[in-house]
C-alpha cells in the first residue's frame, strides 16, 4: 500500500526561526513529525520564510522552505486566489497539515489544527501589535482549510463562533502522550538536573509561555500567601520564556527571587 504523502508546516520547529526553543505548538508539530511515519505516512516538512528574507531558507533543516512568506501567499490569495504548490520531489502531496494558524490554500486538500480561538475571543490577552489586522487574517486563514482539527470537544463551539466554521468540518483529535514520557528516568539523571537548576524534590510546577491568559501572577500571589514554613519546604518553579504583555509578571518573579522567596524561574529547559 502506498504511503500517504503528507506535507506538514514546520515553521514552529525550524531552528533557524525558533533558535531551538519550542513553544506548545512547536512540541505538537515535532510530535507529528516523529509519530506520523509510524502510522504509514510519508512526512514532508515545509516552513514559511520570514517576510522579505526568503534567502535564509537555504539554512532550513526541519523542512524545505516554501517559496514565499506566509504574508506574501496570503496577499496573493486575497488578490487573485493563488494557491501554494503542493509537490515534493516531483510528486504531488496527498494532504497538507498546518499546525500553527498560518494556513494557505494548496493544490491538495488542507487540514488545519486550530488549538483555540483566544486571539479573537480574548484579544486583551494577546500581543496588541496589529491585532485587528492579525485577527482578520486569522479568520480568513482558518476558513481556507478543508477540514479542521480541534484538540477537545469543548473547543468546537468556540471555533464555530469565532472562525465561522461549519461544525461538520471539525474533528476532535486529542493530544497524545509521547513514548518518551512513559520511560523511567534513572536516579542519577534526576539528581543531576535538580542540582543544575537549584531545585529540591516536591516543588510546585508551572510550565508555559508567560502571557496574561496563563494567570501566572495569581499562581505567584497564591504561593506567596502560603505560610513561610511551607514555602521553605516547597519551592515554586516557573518554567517558560517571557511572551507578551508579561512585564508585570516578570517583575513579580524577579522581585520574589531577589527577596529570597523560594521561587525559581527557568527560561529554557528544552528536553529535560
**Segment 165-209, tens digit of pLDDT:** 999 999 999 998 888 888 999 999 999 999 999 999 999 999 998
Note the pLDDT tens digit of each residue in 118-163. 989 988 888 777 788 888 888 999 999 999 999 999 999 999 999 9
d(CA 221, CA 236): 11
Residue among 78, 112, 117 at smallest CA distance from 95: 112
Query: How many other CB atoms are found less than 10 A from the CB of residue 224?
Result: 16
Every domain of the chain with CATH number 3.40.50.2000 lies at 4-172, 185-266
Q: Which fold would CATH assign to domain 185-266? A: Rossmann fold (3.40.50)
Query: How many other CB atoms are found less than 10 A from the CB of residue 96?
Result: 26
The label of the residue with cell 490554500 reads: 105
The CA angle 39-44-47, to the nearest 5 degrees, is 130
Tell me what the mean pLDDT of segment 17-44 comes to.
92
Q: Looking at domain 4-172, what is its CATH homologous superfamily?
A: Glycogen Phosphorylase B; (3.40.50.2000)
The HSE-up count of residue 164 (CA atoms within 13 Å, CB side) is 8
d(CA 31, CA 22): 12
Confidence at residue 58, expressed as pLDDT on a 0 to 100 scale: 65
- CA torsion 170-166-4-183 (nearest 10°) is -20
Distances (CA, A) of 84 to 14, 65, 181, 196, 255: 19, 12, 37, 46, 49
d(CA 98, CA 143): 12
Grid cell of 183 as nine digits: 520511560
Name 266's bridge partners.
Answer: 239
Note the pLDDT tens digit of each residue in 215-234. 999 999 999 999 999 999 99
Distances (CA, A) of 155 to 92, 98, 141, 150: 32, 18, 18, 6
Note the pLDDT tens digit of each residue in 205-216. 999 989 998 999
In contact, 2 and 91? CB cutoff 8 Å: no
- For the chain, the 3-state helix, strand and coil shares in percent, each to the nearest 5, are 45, 20, 40
Does the structure show a pLDDT above 70 at 249?
yes
Amino acid at each position: 500500500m502506498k504511503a500517504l504523502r503528507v506535507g506538514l508546516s514546520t515553521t514552529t520547529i525550524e531552528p533557524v526561526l525558533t533558535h531551538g526553543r519550542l513553544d506548545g505548538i512547536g512540541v505538537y508539530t515535532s510530535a507529528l513529525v516523529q509519530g506520523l511515519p509510524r502510522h504509514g505516512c510519508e512526512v514532508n516538512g515545509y516552513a514559511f520564510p520570514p517576510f522579505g528574507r526568503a534567502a535564509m531558507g537555504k539554512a532550513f533543516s526541519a523542512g524545505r522552505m516554501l517559496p514565499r512568506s506566509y504574508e506574501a501567499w496570503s496577499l496573493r490569495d486575497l488578490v487573485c486566489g493563488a494557491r501554494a504548490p503542493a509537490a515534493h520531489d516531483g510528486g504531488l502531496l496527498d494532504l497538507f497539515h498546518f499546525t500553527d494558524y498560518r494556513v494557505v490554500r494548496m493544490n491538495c486538500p488542507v487540514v488545519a489544527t486550530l488549538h483555540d480561538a483566544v486571539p479573537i475571543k480574548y484579544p486583551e490577552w494577546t500581543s496588541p501589535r496589529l491585532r485587528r489586522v492579525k485577527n482578520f487574517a486569522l479568520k480568513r486563514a482558518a476558513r481556507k482549510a478543508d477540514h479542521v482539527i480541534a484538540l477537545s470537544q469543548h473547543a468546537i463551539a468556540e471555533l464555530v463562533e469565532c472562525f465561522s466554521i461549519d461544525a461538520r468540518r471539525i474533528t476532535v483529535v486529542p493530544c497524545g502522550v509521547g513514548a518518551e514520557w512513559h520511560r523511567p528516568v534513572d536516579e542519577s539523571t534526576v539528581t543531576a538536573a535538580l542540582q543544575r537548576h537549584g531545585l529540591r524534590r516536591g516543588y510546585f510546577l508551572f510550565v508555559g509561555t508567560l502571557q496574561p491568559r496563563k494567570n501566572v501572577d495569581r499562581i505567584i500571589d497564591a504561593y506567596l500567601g502560603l505560610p513561610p514554613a511551607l514555602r521553605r519546604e516547597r519551592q515554586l518553579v516557573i518554567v517558560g520564556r517571557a511572551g507578551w504583555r508579561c512585564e508585570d509578571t516578570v517583575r513579580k518573579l524577579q522581585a520574589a527571587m531577589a527577596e529570597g522567596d523560594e521561587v525559581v524561574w527557568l527560561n529554557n529547559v528544552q528536553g529535560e
